[in-house]
Amino acid sequence: MPDPDRNSRPIRFVHRGAIVDVADAPTTLSVLYWLREHARCVGTKEGCNEGDCGACMVIVAERDVHAPDGVSLRPLNACMQFVSALDGKALITVEDLKRLGTAGAHPAQQAMVSCHGSQCGFCTPGFTMSLAACYDNGLARDARPNRQALADVLSGNLCRCTGYRPILDAGEAMFDLPAAPIDRKALAGLLDRLASDTPLDYRAPEAAVNAIDALIGTAWVAAPCSIVDLAALYATHPDARLVAGATDVGLWVTKQFRPLPKMIRVDAVSTMKVIGWDGDTLTIGAGASLEAAWTALVGIAPALHEMQLRFASLPLRLVGTMGGSVANGSPIGDSAPTLLALDAVLVLRSGGAQRRVALSDFYLDYMKNRLATGEFIEAIEVPRPAAGIAIRGYKLGKRYDCDISAVCAGFAVQVVDGHVAYARFAFGGMAAICRRASRAEAVVIGETWNEATLTRAIEALREDFTPLDDLRASAIYRTKVAGNLLRRLWLETRIDDPLATGRTVVWPTRVAA
């Protein structure tokens, strides 16, 4: 089992067609800084340094039995990922694309040139990498994305000068050029060589540890491969920070300059990524990606597809985890309201012991929860909704794609013989924690599901919540919006002439593939 007090091994991954050993870097060194400052691959740009603009987009390959040739390719924001996240994987950057193209340029690159998809060019490498991942995955599955699918792929890339029309044109045009797929079989051979390595146990040399870390202890990161080892290691080192996708923890370093002297990565524990049904219970491993978890929830309730698309961006959903989102406990988190509406239960683990806590009882106060020392979320259990329960998830932010919520809502309502038999109204952005609107729920239970009942429920929301004013929204706006979202639910589920989802949104309805 990894331990910070014994000898460590380097971080090992594939880059530029060869296995790289990193033994001299701080544990919090980002992939972006390693590329630019250590590997001198400066095509990957630093923009926002918080996973919002996509200028630093790279592709990460890893072994996956369900992927073409056993290798998956994911676009990833290099700015907020620590180099330790690459251990056992392969890193592909914009510098690697040229050698894949038959005419000296990758189809994504050539299409960007031909379609005039670049002006200042700063964002172009990131767009190109997102398109390249989409291109290769499309070729491997013989599935050419339509224009809307391309827009969803590019939800994590921002452009300030070119405009998105020519970039989307490039995304369509690249599939008409001579094929230049990434050699997944060659990557598989290199990745298999890394698979024989012992679990990651990396201790940064003293010279590499920054001054703040040096003051408070060892800079150490470990990545156990089994749930048993993870639980035992965390029980021994409860002061360590558990890290999965680092989509939040990464910002602690890049924006707040917080030291992380001990990290335990959970992404090497394959059993924590499993999603499956046990009878009428959907179990989502806490280490499963947000994209996989939301896809499973959409399988329960197709109306949640828009929430899936609006949760961050595709690259963030591919690396971030639903377990991490729930454990983080942000009052504006987008997972918790929907999970609250679905009566989710958390499976908590400490050493060899498990216990279950309803998500509605998990949060105590702002950024405080019921996790005991050395305890972590192992899985999320979602019961299959009873027949006739309508599930909805709504989000309001300042922009449609890749934005933080002002207000987020998760709803579940069942109407029997015109009366409300079951109701779950959950909100984020309305209090110090995501929680249900118990008074509004009580108002509607047993009542006729009509506009008079709706009006009373909206009034009850004022007793349920006293939201704050902040940079994202005022308290008055949030209160008004919460009521409007409840009204939207009623419009889509009312007894007489319920409206189709496409009639209650400004943006065109997106249909799950």
Residue 508's pLDDT band (boundaries 50, 70, 90)? Answer: low
Q: Is pLDDT at 60 greater than 70 in this prediction?
A: yes
CATH architecture of 272-503: 2-Layer Sandwich (3.30)
* Residue 44, C-beta contacts closer than 8 angstroms, at least 6 positions apart: 32, 35, 36, 55, 56, 57, 58, 78, 93, 94, 125, 126
Residue 359 token pair:
């998500």
CB 275 within 8 A of CB 291: no
Q: Is pLDDT at 222 greater than 80 in this prediction?
A: yes
Residue 449 token pair:
């599901």
pLDDT at 70: 97
- pTM, full prediction: 0.94
pLDDT above 90 covers a percentage of the chain that reads 87
How crowded is residue 348: how many other Cβ atoms within 10 Å of its Cβ? 22
Residue 46's pLDDT band (boundaries 50, 70, 90)? Answer: very high
Helix ranges (H only) for 378-474 are 438-444, 451-464
Residue-averaged pLDDT of the chain = 93
Q: Is pLDDT at 210 greater than 90 in this prediction?
A: no
Q: How confident is the model over 16-38, as pLDDT tens digits?
A: 999 999 999 999 999 999 999 99
CA distance 475 to 430: 8
pLDDT at 430: 97
pLDDT at 2: 57
How crowded is residue 415: how many other Cβ atoms within 10 Å of its Cβ? 20
pLDDT above 70 covers a percentage of the chain that reads 94
Q: Where are the domains of the chain?
A: 272-503
Beta strand ranges found along 129-259 (DSSP E): 200-203, 220-223, 241-243
CA distance 82 to 96: 21
Beta strand ranges found along 150-247 (DSSP E): 200-203, 220-223, 241-243
Q: Which of 247, 285, 286, 240 is nearest to 264 (CA)?
A: 240
Q: How confident is the model over 283-297, as pLDDT tens digits?
A: 999 999 999 999 999
Q: Which of 270, 287, 247, 289 is nearest to 195 (CA)?
A: 270
Mean pLDDT score, 252-259: 89
pLDDT at 209: 63
Q: Is pLDDT at 471 greater than 80 in this prediction?
A: yes
* Residue 254, C-beta contacts closer than 8 angstroms, at least 6 positions apart: 30, 49, 50, 79, 80
Q: Is pLDDT at 460 greater than 90 in this prediction?
A: yes
CA atoms within 13 A on the CB side of 270: 5
Dihedral (CA of 136, 248, 409, 369) sign: positive
Cα 17 to Cα 13, 92, 95, 109, 186, distances in angstroms:
10, 9, 12, 20, 9
Residue 54's pLDDT band (boundaries 50, 70, 90)? Answer: very high
Mean pLDDT score, 434-443: 98
Mean pLDDT score, 71-99: 95
pLDDT at 513: 37
